A and B are shown apart, each in its own frame.
Chain A
């Protein structure tokens, strides 16, 4: 493979197309969004170009601060749950036969193909009083009468974890497949029980992958706006739900853009912080 830096304009040709696409479909829209976030909202109309910080000022209130904290907290919790389930799952998965692994991965891809709407409705039915799982528990004699588990925080969390779980596994899978199985075996011959070896050899050896997965799932969960509406009460709505409200129902694009910019900014800061932590941890 060639490793020299591009010498003349034609050397840049292969990356022209991706760059163009990135520019057209990501950089320009994002730039427009930042621009609109400084525009003036015209109540009863739309917006007009100007430069105002009013949209950001409106955001800086205890109400939205609480909302932001809740959204970040929820996303972090989803990430943690996904890792707690996904890591042991993926570790076991990579130790199955090739055929079993393929079948599991196809199943997970199947879940990925479900839209957020379908996932939301499926869980709201599963957790409902009239048709949900609690009826099964009543039938098994574990509960006295069926109850509604949705809407609730637990339902939102369950739905989001369910939706993000395939992503978690697919991100973890390549790294766990490459993991030298003799690391775990070495830990065992050195006196570590399987659980202990997993916790203090496999996990630390994978910490960069774990952090990367955490960030991906975190950002994924931060963008969720349908599941919190379908499975949660208003107090479980995330900032993304409000962004949607403002953009679609209130046609307040400047404020929606300001909130979205804030959300992007907050996640970037978190990613930067975790990157720093990782670098410090890996350096010694």
Chain B
């Protein structure tokens, strides 16, 4: 089948299990982000795909061809490293030409291809410069151009934007996504930045402790996190413990009506801050007290204490209910906004 397929891939370093039974399919032409906290195994997984580490068990296949026994330099992949790993002794052009020269392309072909790639990453005319003469963002582009020089079968990026400042990073996210769509190349990005993952990818793979927690398109994952870890890691989430009662589910400070929980059972649910409605007075189903208000321009965050629970609500400034710290308010959580986790996940 076309695309990348990992089957039950594990990697152990001594007694430490870095990657633990990962199976994953990346269809051709998709942009996938491996997302997770540091030490979750995402970089190790990428290094195994690139051939820089050998899996302890499991199989890695690309377009139906088993990669396990093919050394890194014969896999025809393009990879951008976190440090960029540009060769300091070569000029910009020579860096990009490196994989082409190794494959024995003619000088004329190489020259033309280098210019084409520099145009593609919007850095025309810098081929003769030395690496040290470039800014961080420019080096980033050179590293991308070099990795794409031989039109690889797979494009891998390990925390590619982490060294850039916030503004430049946002711009590069957009650019990288556009480039990938134009080339239609299967791309995997390792990142710990959930905003980056959300904004670029077709699919996000969230990892924790060497295992895949969930794989889904960004918005699906945001709306329907598979477990509390994913809910919490991807954006903000209110995680509440609820008990099923007649007509809904209740927490220590009130009721979420129409939420269907088996009566008497306790479950954990997740609800996004923007789905929590806050109104003045004590008319609503859940009574709470404002503990903190955080104005963030596009949104306002209201931190609430409701019984033993702490709830965060986010609203737009226009709909801003006039509340101050210490005010008694009522909170409404619509049942359809709640994601109920299985019992064992609680």
Please determine if A and B sit in direct contact within the complex, based on CB atoms under 8 angstroms apart.
yes
Interface residues of A, Cβ cutoff 8 Å to B = 180, 182-183, 185-194, 196-197, 201, 204-205, 207, 284
Classify the interface of chain A: helix, strand, loop or mixed. helix
**Known contacts being A191-B103, A201-B87, is A186 close to B72, with CB within 8 Å?**
no
B225 lies within 8 A of chain A by Cβ = no
Q: Are A193 and B73 in contact (CB under 8 A)?
A: yes
Q: What's the Cα separation between A201 and B81 when bound, in Å?
A: 16
**Known contacts being A191-B103, A204-B89, is A185 close to B81, with CB within 8 Å?**
yes
**Known contacts being A188-B73, A189-B77, A191-B150, is A182 close to B87, with CB within 8 Å?**
no
- 12 residue pairs bridging A and B, Cβ less than 8 Å apart: A183-B87, A186-B85, A188-B51, A188-B72, A188-B73, A189-B72, A189-B156, A190-B147, A191-B150, A192-B102, A193-B73, A205-B88
Instruction: Please give, as numbers and ranges, the residues of chain B lying within 8 Å of A193 by CB-CB distance.
Output: 71, 73
Q: Are A189 and B102 in contact (CB under 8 A)?
A: no
B329 lies within 8 A of chain A by Cβ = no
Instruction: Please give, as numbers and ranges, the residues of chain A lying within 8 Å of B74 by CB-CB distance.
Output: 191
B99 lies within 8 A of chain A by Cβ = yes
Q: Are A190 and B98 in contact (CB under 8 A)?
A: yes
Instruction: Please give, as numbers and ranges, the residues of chain A lying within 8 Å of B50 by CB-CB distance.
Output: 185, 189
Within 8 A of A (CB), among B217-245: none
Q: Are A185 and B72 in contact (CB under 8 A)?
A: yes
Instruction: Please give, as numbers and ranges, the residues of chain A lying within 8 Å of B79 by CB-CB distance.
Output: 185-186, 189
Contact of B73 (CB < 8 Å), options: A180, A183, A192, A204 = A192
What's the nearest-Cβ distance from chain A to residue B152, in Å? 9
B146 lies within 8 A of chain A by Cβ = yes
B83 lies within 8 A of chain A by Cβ = yes
Q: What's the Cα separation between A196 and B91 when bound, in Å?
A: 19
Q: What's the Cα separation between A190 and B101 when bound, in Å?
A: 10
B78 lies within 8 A of chain A by Cβ = yes
B325 lies within 8 A of chain A by Cβ = no
- In the complex, what residue of chain A is closest to B72 when comparing beta carbons? A188
What's the nearest-Cβ distance from chain A to residue B289, in Å? 52
Within 8 A of A (CB), among B42-68: 50-52
Instruction: Please give, as numbers and ranges, the residues of chain B lying within 8 Å of A187 by CB-CB distance.
Output: 73, 87, 98
Contact of A182 (CB < 8 Å), options: B77, B82, B103 = B82
Q: Are A207 and B89 in contact (CB under 8 A)?
A: yes
Q: What's the Cα separation between A180 and B81 when bound, in Å?
A: 11
What's the nearest-Cβ distance from chain B to residue A154, in Å? 35
Q: What's the Cα separation between A196 and B98 when bound, in Å?
A: 12
CB within 8 Å: A-B pair count: 71
Contact of A185 (CB < 8 Å), options: B52, B87, B103 = B52
Instruction: Please give, as numbers and ranges, the residues of chain A lying within 8 Å of B77 by CB-CB distance.
Output: 189
Q: What's the Cα separation between A187 and B94 when bound, in Å?
A: 13
**Known contacts being A182-B83, A188-B51, A188-B72, is A205 close to B89, with CB within 8 Å?**
yes
Q: What's the Cα separation between A183 and B77 when bound, in Å?
A: 16
Q: Are A189 and B73 in contact (CB under 8 A)?
A: yes
Q: Are B87 and A191 in contact (CB under 8 A)?
A: no
Q: What's the Cα separation between A161 and B98 when bound, in Å?
A: 35
Instruction: Please give, as numbers and ranges, the residues of chain A lying within 8 Å of B81 by CB-CB distance.
Output: 182, 185-186
Instruction: Please give, as numbers and ranges, the residues of chain A lying within 8 Å of B73 by CB-CB distance.
Output: 187-194, 196-197
What's the nearest-Cβ distance from chain B to residue A64, in Å? 40
Most chain A Cβ neighbours within 10 Å, of B76, B88, B91 = B88
What's the nearest-Cβ distance from chain A to residue B127, in Å? 13
Q: Are A189 and B88 in contact (CB under 8 A)?
A: no
Q: What's the Cα separation between A191 and B52 when bound, in Å?
A: 12
Q: What's the Cα separation between A205 and B73 when bound, in Å?
A: 20
**Known contacts being A182-B83, A196-B102, is A189 close to B78, with CB within 8 Å?**
yes
Q: With contacts A182-B82, A185-B79, A190-B98 known, what are 13 further pairs, Cβ within 8 A?
A: A183-B85, A185-B50, A186-B85, A188-B52, A188-B71, A188-B72, A190-B149, A191-B74, A191-B150, A193-B73, A194-B73, A196-B102, A284-B91
Instruction: Please give, as numbers and ranges, the residues of chain B lying within 8 Å of A205 by CB-CB distance.
Output: 87-89
Most chain A Cβ neighbours within 10 Å, of B81, B85, B99, B150 = B85
What's the nearest-Cβ distance from chain A to residue B203, in Å? 23
What's the nearest-Cβ distance from chain B to residue A175, in Å? 13
Most chain B Cβ neighbours within 10 Å, of A182, A196, A197, A204 = A182
Q: What's the Cα separation between A231 and B121 when bound, in Å?
A: 62
- In the complex, what residue of chain A is closest to B86 when comparing beta carbons? A186
What's the nearest-Cβ distance from chain A to residue B29, in Å? 21
Within 8 A of A (CB), among B123-175: 146-147, 149-150, 156
What's the nearest-Cβ distance from chain B to residue A211, in Å? 13
Q: Are B85 and A191 in contact (CB under 8 A)?
A: no
- In the complex, what residue of chain B is closest to A207 when comparing beta carbons? B89
Q: Are A190 and B146 in contact (CB under 8 A)?
A: yes
CB-CB nearest 8 A-B residue pairs: A186-B85, A190-B99, A182-B85, A204-B89, A188-B72, A189-B79, A182-B81, A191-B102
Instruction: Please give, as numbers and ranges, the residues of chain B lying within 8 Å of A185 by CB-CB distance.
Output: 50, 52, 72, 79, 81, 85
Instruction: Please give, as numbers and ranges, the residues of chain A lying within 8 Å of B87 by CB-CB distance.
Output: 183, 186-187, 201, 204-205
Q: What's the Cα separation between A186 and B102 when bound, in Å?
A: 13
Against A, the Cβ 8 Å flags (1 = close, 0 = not) of B2-36 are: 00000000000000000000000000000000000
